[in-house]
Structure 1
């Protein structure tokens, strides 16, 4: 049975600003990986570099500017390799409702549970970055 992580976050900015923050490497490095490279186009590969040991890759499986971007992991660790994750964006009177998913986990082991917690913390960092231009140093991110 596949397992999934879901988080919903209201971000008080328009969908295009939120989309840029989850799809543009120059913004991603301000709330998630140490280094990043990639283009938001179907079939393109993103490189998420956290350290030399954690140098991961994902392919864009679906995207539409201002609406959503989804990724299929291609090179990561054993638990993450079969997974897909993404961000679906809905306009809201206060900004954008971000619906995050990370699914197809092989089991609900400790790594799955830790990742669920980390995604919650990271998405709070995303919200603070987009709304308040707060950048948490990479070393302090969970």
Structure 2
């Protein structure tokens, strides 16, 4: 059995702006990571650096420009290693519906529950970044 985190929300932004914000390192660093690298291409490796202790790697598992972007963890902590997270989005009357998922958690442990909460906060940060241009300093993020 595996467990999953899902969050759906609306962002008043174009599909391209959303795709860029969730796939390009210069944008990821404005709402999620301390520093990151990678290219939104199939099987491209991403480095997601949060601190020296949390310096993680993953591969692009799904990429459809302006529609989807998913990453499969390859080097992280034991709970995150088997997981894949990503974004699917579609235009709607209010901008775009973003469907976030973080799937294949092996346990619904405290880390899983904490990550679900943190993702909600971070995704709100993504929304504020795209809609209002707000960049929360890294040390103040979830």
Answer whether TM exceeds 0.5 for this pair.
yes
RMSD over equivalenced CA pairs, Å: 0.4
CA distance in 1, matches of 2:30, 2:127: 11
| Structure 2: gaps spanning 5 or more residues | none
Q: Alignment partner of 1:98: what SS?
A: strand
Q: Alignment partner of 1:115: what SS?
A: helix
CA distance in 2, matches of 1:130, 1:24: 13
Q: Alignment partner of 2:91: what SS?
A: strand
Cα offset for 1:98?
A: 0.4
TM-score w.r.t. the length of structure 2 is: 0.99
CA distance in 1, matches of 2:108, 2:68: 26
Task: Establish whether residue 83 from structure 1 lines up as the match of residue 83 from structure 2.
Answer: yes
| Structure 1: gaps spanning 5 or more residues | none
CA distance in 1, matches of 2:18, 2:69: 11
Deviations 1:79-127 (A, max 9, x none): 0000000000111111111000000000000000000000000000000
TM-score w.r.t. the length of structure 1 is: 0.99
Q: Alignment partner of 1:52: what SS?
A: coil
Q: Alignment partner of 1:74: what SS?
A: strand
Task: Establish whether residue 55 from structure 1 lines up as the match of residue 55 from structure 2.
Answer: yes
Report the count of equivalent residues: 142
